[in-house]
Structure 1
Amino acid sequence: MDYKYIEQLMDRYFEAETTLKEEQILKAFFEQSEEELPENLRAYRELFTSFEQDEMLGDDFDERMLQMIEEKPQVKARTISLSERFRPLMRAAAVVAILITLTTALNQSFKDDKVWTDQSDYALKYEATGNEPAMAYDHSSDSLVSDSLYKPTGYLE
């Protein structure tokens, strides 16, 4: 048997170009027993026979839908201030400012490391004389304690 017409209707059905009458023809065709259907069209049988199992909407469908709509509370419009509108923009600007600050700080720290690495030969040129602790003590005592507090009493002048 030639099923070209059914295959054409199937193609039109999947492209949403069929009329209600053509869809009824497809439904009647697929209501046949599975053995009578051709092998290549058996997979589509459940697509058209499942309509029988669906519940019908009923005569009171419109009334039920209107009741459901009326039961829902009405949503009130909310006014949004200018600061609330710009809040996401301000957050984005803050993130950009933080990233720029961190990038600048990291770049500066890497530049400072270069300065110290450039002066690393200072340690090689330094020669220890043995007087460094005494010199450090003299300099720290001069800068930390004033002369009037540091002078011991009882000396003959």
Structure 2
Amino acid sequence: MSEAIHPAAVHHLPGFITAPGQSDWLLTAVAIFLIVAIFALGTLYLRLHSLPEVMAHKTNKIQLELVAVLALLSLLTHNNILWGAALLLALIDLPDFSSPLSSIAGSLEKIAGKVVDQPGGAETREAEPAEIEPLPHPLPRALPGHASPAHSSTEGKA
């Protein structure tokens, strides 16, 4: 074949036009760039969707599981309101109600004389009730200026 240019073609061809039978280097470069860009954007998208979960995990939030579920649901359903809710929950500190309530329950069991093993154990047994120490001084029978309860109960009967 001759390498003469067709008479209808322009005399100066751009560098990306290849001769017949040659590989197209521009098509190869664009294909590689497109594959790298798709993987980079996919990684960025997945990291963005896991951002609330990472934030909640770093600060040891109580609601970590809820944040993780909301982030996963927003990823699968493409509902942005779920991702926004997960982000808000990751940023907000919810008060810890369980620790004080379990402490109160443990104190009440201790006062009642019940000994409960750790949450993993199933043993519950009655303990000897603790003896109450008497007060160092007796309590007054009535407040100053008030009638004694013993006097007020006898006055009503007479």
- TM-score above 0.5, yes or no: no
Give the number of the structure whose residues are more often helix, by fraction.
1
Q: Which protein has greater RCO, CA pairs closer than 8 Å, 6+ apart?
A: 2
Q: Which has the larger radius of gyration?
A: 1
TM-score (norm 2): 0.24
